[in-house]
Amino acid sequence: MRTPVLPLRRALAAALLVPLAALAAVRGQVILVGSSTVFPFAAYVAESFGRRGQWPTPVVESTGTGGGFRLFCSGIGVNSPDINDASRPMTDAERADCASHGIAEVTVLRVGSDGILVASARRAAALDLSREQLYRAIARSVPVGGHLVPNPYHRWREVDPALPDRPIRILGPAPNHGTRDAFVALALEPACERHAEVQALGPAARRAACQTVREDGAWVDVTGDYAVLVGKLADDPDAVAILTYAYLDQNRGRLQAARIDGVAPTLEAIAAARYPLARPLFIYVKTAHVGAVPGLAEFVREFVSDRAAGPDGYLVDKGLAPMPRSALAAEQAKAAALGAAQR
């Protein structure tokens, strides 16, 4: 199911000169790359799809959203993946990269929602945090005495006397992860941009102030998948980690999650967007590959089917927050049109 990134890239690159018309004969298997958040959902859909026996089980690789878009946008044909899983929307720069490599049309489907969590070991004291407190604990520069200064806080109680007297030690996703981008956008920027010291800055300086995490050791980038973070938390009760709901759901005996702005990260709160750090999840499909890769259109339909992504679907059991029925029906219509256009 999960192939190493380097062999996958070599396999794709080895077929660089094979035309799109020969795609089915050369590999005949759907390939997905992308978000480590979407990975467990995509892998489960791939397993379910493969068990039906009509098409080979798709290959699913966790590369991070940004890394996945780089592979996805590398071109048309067997030298590039068919789908990129994404925990954030594609950026303008990524769209331009796709266009520069001849990818004129990409179909994007929302598959559900997820929540970004501030998780800790179950044996640690529970946290109840605001986004303002998160911003002050994590940002590289924070307002103090009317000026932006290098972050002076080293313990949670220094951020707010109501918080525990524990060191600030945060294990967070590295910049290639869409979860890092979404966390910055949902947790840090809303708090940062309220401050007069930040509002006085120009656009570029404001972005830098609100999007840059501290580099003094209090925030530690984790470049692997979220299973690495789960293991690190179990060994360090003083640490917290930026995780996603699915990983909490699978490790409730070991982990707990902080309330954010007074809201607990339940599946219901995430699905209804009441939880402040809820965000949509997507798959991006290379439209030109539909019809050339056996089973691609059918796999996309499976991903957004009622049995997978519906309110009683098997992905909900894996921690995916389902969309309202009307929103899911709209994605199903896009998936059906994607297949019909290639017949």
- What is the tens place of the pLDDT at every residue in 253-304? 889 999 999 999 999 999 999 999 999 999 999 999 998 898 999 999 999 9
pLDDT of 189 > 80? The answer is yes
pLDDT of residue 229: 74
Structure confidence at residue 16 (pLDDT): 41
Summarize pLDDT for 255-266 with one digit per residue, the tens: 999 999 999 999
pLDDT at residue 20, rounded to an integer: 59
Spatial distance between the Cα atoms of 276 and 244, rounded to a whole number of angstroms: 13
Phi, psi of 135 (to 5 degrees): -60, -50
* 113-152 pLDDT per residue, tens: 999 999 999 988 889 999 999 999 999 999 999 999 999 9
Average pLDDT, integer, range 305-313: 96
Question: What does the H/E/C string look like for 180-200?
Answer: HHHHHHHHHHHHHCCCHHHHC
Domain locations along the chain: 5-113+280-340
Say what the pTM is.
0.84
Token reading at 176: 């290639």
- CATH dotted code for 5-113+280-340: 3.40.190.10
300 burial level (CB within 10 Å; 0-12, 13-18, 19+): buried
